[in-house]
Amino acid sequence: MNETIESQSSPSPQIRPKLPLWQRLLPWLITLACFIYLYTVLDRAAAAQGSGLFPYLREIFGKVSWWRWLGLMVPYSLFFFTIDTLVIWRVINWFNAKINYFDLLPIRGSAYILSILNEQVGKGAMALYLNRRDGVPGWEVGSSMLFVMFCEFYYLLGWATIGVTLQWDRFPEIFHLIPWIALGAGIFFVVFHLFFSGRIGKGVAFRDRALFHSFRQAKAWQYGAVLVLRSPAMLGAVLVYTLSLRLFGVEANFSEMVGYLPVIFFGAASPGPMRSVAILLWVILFPERPGEMSTFGFVQHNFFIFFNASIGLLFLRRANRELFGQRT
C-alpha cells in the first residue's frame, strides 16, 4: 500500500541550500594540488635525465608495446563487462523480475556511456530502461540498483582492507585507516540488515518505502553472493595490471599487485577528487619510476572508462529501439 501511494504521488520540489564556497572549491583544489605535485615530480625526473618534460613523457610512451597492451586490456574490459552484467542480472532476478541475461547486456553496455560522467546516472538509466521495457516498478528497480551500489562499496572496501594489510608498510599512514573504516562499516551493516529485515525497529515507516524494496527482501547470504560474483573481476584486474605494468618497464609481482590495486580501485570509485588521488598513488608506491607510473595510471584508468563506453555504442541502437520503439 505504501509503495503504491509513494509511486503515484509526486513530492513537492524542495530547494536545496547552496553549499558554501569552500565546499564547492575543495574538490577542485585537491585535484589541482595532485596535478601540481605530479607536474613537479615529473619535471624533476625529466631534468635529472637532461630532458624536457614532454620529450621525457614521449620517450616513455614510445617504449610501450601498445599492441600487446591492447591484447591485455581489451579482453579484460570485456570480461569485466560480463561480470558486471552478471551481478546486475542476478540482483534483478532476485528482487524484481525474471529477465534473460542476454537481454540485459544492451542496457548495461549503453549505461557505460553515461557512466563516463557519473556511475550513479548510469545505474539510473538502467532502472528507467527496465521500468519502460519490462514494466518493473520504477522505485523497486531503483532499489535494486541501490542494492548493487551498496554491495559495490563493501566489495571494494573488503578488497582494499586486504590490500592495505598485505602491503602495510608501502602505503602512507592515512591508508592505515581503511581497516578501521571496514570495521565500522561491518558494524553498520549488521544494524542495517537487522533493521531492514524487520528484526529491530518494528513499526518504523521509513523502512516500508519503495526505495528499500530490495533491502527488505535481501538475505544476508545475498550480500555475500554479490561480493563473490564480483571478485573474479578483481582477480582478473590483478593479473592484467601486473602484466601491463611490465610493458611500461616496471617490475611487480602478483602478490604486490593484490595489495596495491584494490586500494587504488577503492580510491578511484570514491566521489569527488579521489580519482586524481588514485592516479597519484601509483607514483607514491613506485617513487623511483614517476614517469612510467603516472603514464600507466592515466592510460589504464581512462582506457577502461572509454572502452566500456565504446561497448555501449555497439548496443545503443538496440537499447534505444527497445526503450522508445514501442512509444509514439
Q: Which amino acid is at 243?
A: L
Q: How far is CA 207 from the centre of its chain?
A: 27
Return the C-alpha cell found at 250.
616496471
What pLDDT score was predicted for residue 174? 85
Cell numbers of 160, please? 582494499
Average pLDDT over the chain, rounded to whole? 85
Amino acid found at 295: T
pLDDT in tens, 113-134: 877 766 666 677 777 777 777 7
C-alpha cell at 323: 526503450
* Residue 173: DSSP 8-state: G
pLDDT above 70 as % of the chain: 87
Alpha-carbon distances, residue 29 vs 42, 173, 274 (angstroms): 20, 22, 12
Residue-wise pLDDT tens digits, 140-186? 888 998 999 999 999 999 999 999 999 999 898 888 999 999 999 99
Domain spans in the chain, listed from the N-terminal domain onward: 66-324
pLDDT tens digits for 246-273?
999 998 899 999 999 999 998 777 655 5
Q: What is the pLDDT of residues 61-120, one digit of tens each?
A: 999 999 999 999 999 999 999 999 999 999 999 998 888 999 888 888 888 887 776 666
pLDDT at res. 5: 41
User: How high is the pLDDT of residue 228?
Assistant: 97
* Maximum Cα–Cα distance across the chain: 73
Name 241's Cβ contacts closer than 8 Å, sequence gap at least 6.
257, 261, 300
Decide if 125 contacts 138 (C-beta within 8 A): no
Tell me how far CA of residue 20 lies from CA of 25, 28, 167, in angstroms.
9, 14, 38
